[in-house]
Structure 1
Amino acid sequence: MSLFSEGELALMGKAEFAFPGALRDQLVAAILDGSKTSTTGLVVDYEHEGEALPEVGSRAVVVDSQDRPVGVIEVTEIRVVPLAEVDLAHAIDEGEGDTTVAGWRANHESFWHSPEMRDAMDDPDFTVADGTLAVLERFRLIADLRPGS
């Protein structure tokens, strides 16, 4: 049984990690097992989508690749920093197996420079650099919405 009614869930924003597919499934599984407690977005992506940056205390419904609600997270910290200033603790807490900032950066640049991201940004040449502003978000899982949880 969920801590939240369907009405309460409907009022929360949706937390979509990556694009639907294998990477989203991996990230959602890491959130649900507790190994992923941080994520990184780009200020330019929020601006492109016309979305406000997340705020501490805000809650969102995590969805899987089939757009099913599987959890609720609550933001515990937000920092906006240039990509060059992302620290190792944040990289490790993303729960993707990175053990160095350089490895984290390479994996994230691969995503940000992907055809899917460039398409989403409406910019076939979209790239990030050391000065690109990143939104470092920490969160905690407050509800597992999967049946039987």
Structure 2
Amino acid sequence: MWGRIDGLRILELGTPGELCAELNGLVLSGAKTGTAGLLEHDYRAEGEEPERVGERLALVDDDRARIAVIEVTAVEVVPFDSVTWEFADSEGEGYRSVEHWATSHRRFWNGLGYDVDDTTDVVCVSFRLAGSQGADVDPRGET
């Protein structure tokens, strides 16, 4: 089960350390408005359902401290080989093509011990930054 902060499910990007800091920085700058997870390993194995449109999540740093709140704008579960260029580009990580995205993500997930093939279900989550740490952000969406 994912952790919770102020009733919000947490979103941890990448792996602890430099990758997490880099991805969080992209979110805070507005360059990253999408992230992908594996339905089986990131959701079902954790006893979690995919995010819902309108849901707010607490973006956390390596210490699991909330640094921002994001609001989910779209969720799509697709086979790995059906991830679109538009989604891949929304991850804000400088991918040159959807094939580049696929190679990078397959390497990342394989490095975590997860076998990924063209039929593996991927949860594509699009979001917007709803507020960053230090701003007066009500996690329920009320300002």
The answer as to 2:136 corresponding to 1:136 is no
CA distance in 1, matches of 2:13, 2:33: 12
Structure 1, unaligned stretches of length 5 or more?
1-8, 119-125
Q: Helix, strand or coil: the match of 1:113? A: helix
1:105 partner SS: helix
Q: What CA RMSD, in Å, does the superposition of the two structures yield over aligned residues?
A: 1.2
Q: CA deviation at 1:61?
A: 0.6
User: Does 2:78 correspond to 1:92?
Assistant: no
1:68 corresponds to: 65
Residue 66 of structure 1: CA displacement?
Answer: 2.3
Q: Distance in 2 between matches of 1:77 and 1:54?
A: 9
CA distance in 1, matches of 2:22, 2:77: 25
Comparing both structures, which one devotes a greater share of its residues to helix? 1
Among residues 104, 110, 128, which one is paired with 2:107 in the alignment? 110
Q: Secondary structure of the equivalent of 2:6?
A: helix
Aligned residues: 130
Q: Which runs of 5+ in 2 are unaligned?
A: 136-143
**SS at 2:24's partner residue?**
helix
Amino-acid identity (%): 36
SS for the counterpart of 1:89 is helix
4+ residue runs over 6 A deviation = none
Q: Is the 8 A contact 1:62 1:73 kept in 2?
A: yes
TM-score scaled by length of structure 1: 0.83
Q: Which amino acid aligns with 1:135?
A: V
User: Is 1:14–1:60's contact at 8 Å kept on the other side of the alignment?
Assistant: yes
